[in-house]
Amino acid sequence: MPSETARIEAFSDGVFAIAITLLILEIKVPSVAQGELAHQLLRQWPSYFAFLLSFLFIGVMWINHHRMFTHIHRSDHGLLFFNLLLLLGVTVVPFPTAVLAMHLTASDARTAAALYNGTYFVLAIFFNVLWRYAVSHRLIDHALAASAGAISKQYAFGPLMYLVCLALGWFSVPLSLIVNCALAVFFALPPKHAASIKQRASHAEMP
């Protein structure tokens, strides 16, 4: 019997696929008139960096979306709406990626980083809203209640840490992006492993 959420997942996969593919379009092929090819290719390193960073982030978001929908077995109008809200955020990602690539080495790098980090802060909120709606409206498979609880704990950590990245960007753009990468790795981990890392970090901070 087909899953009740199969169409939601199929449509969402398509949006993720398009968003992650659009990232490469921001890397331009240097023209002959611009000079030596090797030099022009090296000059585009901010574009390569921004592309790889956003490819990682969209990939991790897709992993988490898939993880959510292995637990969500029923849908309603609210779930459809909040899933579309999340996908709205996903489709926006190529824009702040392009801005970051263009301004990473310029004087307004902090503004570009704020836009970039702010996008993921909003996406973290959208992920939490979608997931908590599914949990509160009992759209979750009861047999997976234990692992669903681990996902809730992992997601609750997201908005606060992305807000920290947003604040860090005004003091150090590289540091904010490094922390952002660390968060992507954290959210790529299965929830039980992420919870273990978070618990060890809390114990290490205790006197």
Q: Is residue 124 part of a domain?
A: yes
- Is the dihedral angle over the CA atoms 51, 53, 56, 59 positive or is it negative? negative
Greater pLDDT, 83 or 43: 83
Q: Is residue 74 part of a domain?
A: yes
- Assess whether pLDDT exceeds 70 at residue 195: no
Q: What is the pLDDT of residue 59?
A: 94
- What's the chain's average pLDDT? 86
Q: What is the pLDDT of residue 62?
A: 95
Which residues, at least 6 apart from 163, have a Cβ–Cβ distance to it below 8 Å?
A: 121
Asked if 78 and 4 count as a contact pair (C-beta separation under 8 A), the reply is no
Nearest partner of 151 among 184, 206, 192, 180, judged by Cα: 192
Q: Is residue 93 part of a domain?
A: yes
Q: What is the pLDDT of residue 205?
A: 46
| pLDDT single digits (tens) 134-166 | 998 988 877 766 778 888 888 888 888 889 999
What is d(CA 101, CA 73) in angstroms, rounded to the nearest whole number? Answer: 39
Q: Is residue 108 part of a domain?
A: yes
Domain residue limits at 39:
6-205
Instruction: Copy the structure tokens of residue 149.
Output: 């609880």
Q: What is the pLDDT of residue 4?
A: 77
Rounded to an integer, the average pLDDT of 66-79 is: 91
Q: Is residue 1 part of a domain?
A: no
- The structural domain count of the chain equals 1
Nearest partner of 95 among 50, 157, 30, 161, judged by Cα: 50
- Assess whether pLDDT exceeds 70 at residue 175: yes
What is d(CA 93, CA 126) in angstroms, rounded to the nearest whole number? Answer: 14
